[in-house]
Structure 1
């Protein structure tokens, strides 16, 4: 089973288009999205419509919540322009998105659970950073019952493997899939993750799953100039160029 995971598109439709082309060129069995379809850019409706057209299961990110809240308050604040341009039908879609997606796989030695979240199992605003204290991190796995946690939110990809302190042993896998539309790791190319799990995957070993981070080029300057020609802050354009 090969799963492509995308996240944090942030209304960057040109980036999403190129990412989906990349996914189509690979032998992918399923695609999931960890949320934050909107914010920071000019094409929230195009992004949402494409995700819906392709029937990609999607989580509600913190910026998706913000868009729904701003529309409910009918805010006209200039800082909320990126959310004001989200259409009514698209807002209704965002308001129905779930907080988690759980998948279970029977592998060689156990039933494993994959938990998909935007930020953390507790909040779409909480960051699960790569350098998080190991005990605090493993406690989250034990509390949630997950063997693999897939997250976004920080826009910084990583794959961290931690020993399960439970008497049953084995390993936990924390995977941040990066950002399609607004990377923050110094590399401005789109980022998504491909997770490979085989029937004979052995979760008593560190190498039980394969994780590949795929970087995809797109016309960053075209998007940046569109931002600068719009009502959005010019700083958003520089964030794309420098990936911070």
Structure 2
């Protein structure tokens, strides 16, 4: 089985199209989407239309939940923009997405951890910043999962980590956003160092799961210009550079 893993698209239609084209060239038995799909100052409606037409196995991330909550109360600017620039049918599609998914007998997908869409699976954050999580912490998050391929997203950091029982946890990185800062639970930054779209290809053979992390060029200048047009110079900088600071 050859699985292409997408996550954290954040309505970057240009990056998504480039990644899908690369997957088509390589071939995959299945494409899956690990959430955080539409929230951004970019192209939420166009991204939703494309993904809805593909019918990929897809889960909701924290931003899907936050986007939907904008119906009751104004939310974070990226969620609010996506809420205001999507149709009711698109929001109904988001509402119907599960939080976790057993994609196949041997594949499990969550956005953050199995228990929370807000916690990084493979990173930990404290007052000193963000770094790869301790093995004991990763093992604790993976406890109770029998699948040998565990997919996560949320942190935008491409990583693979072996855990007990011959299992592998894979974060494909972000299709749509290669840097950001956050103040929860402490202030930290995520930087991948270039604007390239990220995704992962996983293939199972007699030795277990093989993972290839892919870094794909696309018209990131167009994405950055759209962010700037919509009043988000921070996003424009992140999209142009893959770094959180100028």
Give the TM-score normalised by structure 2: 0.84
Give SS of 1:11's match.
Answer: coil
Q: Within 1, Cα distance between the matches of 2:209 and 2:59?
A: 23
Contact 1:71–1:84 (CA under 8 A) maintained in structure 2 = no
**Bigger mean CA deviation after superposition, 63-72 or 140-149:** 140-149
**Are the counterparts in 2 of residues 34 and 59 from structure 1 also a CA contact under 8 Å?**
yes
Give 1:108's aligned residue.
none
What secondary structure is seen at the aligned counterpart in 2 of 1:179? coil
Equivalenced residue count is 222
Segments of structure 2 that go 5 or more residues without pairing to the other structure are: 124-131, 180-191
Whole-angstrom distance in 2 between the partners of 1:218 and 1:10: 15
Alpha-carbon distance between aligned partners in 2 of 1:40 and 1:55, rounded to the nearest angstrom: 21
- Structural mapping, 1:62-211, within 5 Å: 62-73=62-73, 75=74, 80-105=80-105, 113-130=106-123, 131-162=132-163, 164=164, 170-184=165-179, 185-198=192-205, 201-202=206-207, 208-211=208-211
Q: Which residue of 2 aligns with 1:167?
A: none
Q: CA deviation at 1:160?
A: 1.2
Please state how far the C-alpha of 1:77 moved relative to its aligned partner.
Answer: 7.8
Instruction: Provide closer, same or farther for how the CA distance between residues 46 and 134 of structure 1 changes in structure 2, counting only shifts above 3 A.
Output: same
Contact 2:69–2:75 (CA under 8 A) maintained in structure 1? no
State the 1:76 CA deviation. 8.2
Larger Cα-atom Rg: 1
Q: Give the RMSD, CA atoms, in angstroms.
A: 1.8
Residues 213-232 of structure 1 aligned to structure 2 (within 5 Å) = 213-230=213-230, 232=231
Residue number in structure 1 paired with 2:183 = none
